[in-house]
Amino acid sequence: MALFEIKWLRRWIRKHTNPIPMDSAELWKRRLSVGYALLAWNAFGFVCYMVFTGRNDWAKYYGHKSEEEAKLTPAQQFATKLNVDRGKIIRFSGLKRVGEEEFDNKARKSE
């Protein structure tokens, strides 16, 4: 609680709840940690399975994203979301400038 210093919440919880015995708290902590580990491992396996079967872009696979939208780079997607009409995308690798590409969202909107 020292990070946020919400003393009123701590006082309210301490006033309206009963203390949990240590052995019961440790038992439930172990149970919850095992459950969390199983859940996390299954989620990791599901993500690996989706990537392995070629469905890593689920929006494209299930038809929520068109082929044209799928071809856009992340920078072009952000520019479209922010309603930027024209601009340049500059690519860096470390401190070196790798490439530069211009985009025009006005032409894409009019099509």
pLDDT tens for 45-70 read 999 999 898 888 888 888 888 888 88
Q: How many domains does the chain have?
A: 2
Q: Which parts of the chain sit beneath pLDDT 70?
A: 1-4, 107-111
Within-domain flag for 104: yes
pTM over 0.75: no
Tell me the one-letter amino acid at 93: S
List CB contacts of 4: < 8 A, sequence separation 6 or more. Answer: none
Q: Token match 């859940």: residue?
A: 39
Domain of residue 43 covers 21-65
Within-domain flag for 97: yes
List CB contacts of 22: < 8 A, sequence separation 6 or more. Answer: none
Residue 103: other Cβ atoms inside 10 A: 19
Whether residues 60 and 76 share a domain: the answer is no
Whether residues 58 and 26 share a domain: the answer is yes
Within-domain flag for 41: yes
Within-domain flag for 81: yes
